Chains A and B, each alone.
Chain A
């Protein structure tokens, strides 16, 4: 059986409130807060990027994995749409930082917000096939949202890391299912600072169709129903979408609560459902079933059925919890500082 041996997350401490962004662009903050169910979002400072978030999350995953010798990690995959380099891998920096080079396979994945779950899927497949003892999958982003665009209220930063293996598991992966079509709801062309999106087209035909497609297919494959799960995590481009899709599929608010982070974290793009999974594992008990379904524009969803093992209670407290990173030691910044941090003020060299 393949599954998770260790997990970890990392989030920036800086936050900006919806009101602060709305004030600058003349937007109606109460309607954004109600319509998107967003209160604030995380903001990475200039010295934090997908690579640094990944290294910290990976180190926490190693602390929880306990038994893993880094030399036995055969692959590192990072899923992100904000790799710091256009050409040069992020994964090799993480491999070097945790001491896993040189006998390792590295690849950076991209698939809008689904790149992280893609990395998890491939890492699981490697260990399941017996190709390697462990594989490290990381989901990380310092998301881009154009000034004044609706995305600017949600685009946030964070990372989740998972060491996959076949022994000493804290969660077994019982089923996976992926569901893809060519749906142009959101994209970023080369040399563009910010992504474009199809407005309302990102809803029914994109997020909801693929999330429901993958979710219904995996439930059928597993011969399970929503009430068989203790928890569920969905991709969270805002607070509203994951809540709506969960309820429409037959899950409850109680099931999504621990991993429903978007209202105060924002949309961490590739990191969204994987970081939600770390927050859920932080509170899960042995035997709990966890449902997870990512979504990436372009478009597709990866769904997973996890079963938590006895080992979770031994390793959970080896690293800081995701909700502690989300809720404590926060620094609120104004729009000017945010614009500087996110390089929205363009200076010549």
Chain B
């Protein structure tokens, strides 16, 4: 699978800046952003920037990776509950998969999330790294 440069570009607000939708009626935050709150049908919302720390809620380990992430395998994919309660999905970096635990504290760090061969566009975003400071 390839990451088209236009698709990559459209995802900058949430990939680069962790921007999310917080709906007025329900007070719920959605990431990536949505136009309509699926629970209330509300469209009134404000853009919020998600916090950069959280805890692992659950995870899985990928040992047979798709080609574009092959050089990183084995790696963990996790659902993390951020400090504001929002749950986000992403890849764990800088972490031995045998050391990943539910409840582990992580920080979000800006990383290259996909490299399209030797000639394609580079995609950036956030990954989780173990919190140590």
Contacts and interface: CB of A to CB of B under 8 A. Distances in A.
A349 B133 CA distance: 39
Contact of B110 (A14, A46, A56, A349): A56
A202 interface: no
10 contacts: A45-B93, A45-B94, A46-B72, A46-B112, A52-B110, A55-B124, A59-B110, A84-B112, A328-B132, A328-B133
Interface in B5-23: 12, 16-17
B67 to A, nearest CB: 9
Given A45-B94, A47-B113, A340 B122 contact: no
Nearest to A85: B122
A51 B115 CA distance: 13
Contacts of A320: 133
A56 B71 CA distance: 23
Contact of A97 (B16, B118, B130): B16
5 smallest CB-CB distances across A and B, nearest first, come from A55-B110, A47-B111, A97-B16, A329-B132, A47-B112
B124 A52 contact: yes
B132 A47 contact: no
Interface residues of A, number: 26
A97 B94 contact: no
A13 B112 contact: no
B109 A56 contact: yes
Interface string B55-82: 0000000000000000110000000000
Contacts of B33: none
With a 10 A CB-CB cut-off, give which of B72, B117, B124 has the most chain A CB atoms.
B124
A46 B93 CA distance: 10
A96 B16 contact: yes
Contacts of B132: 328-329
Contact of A349 (B71, B111, B118): B118
Nearest to B95: A331
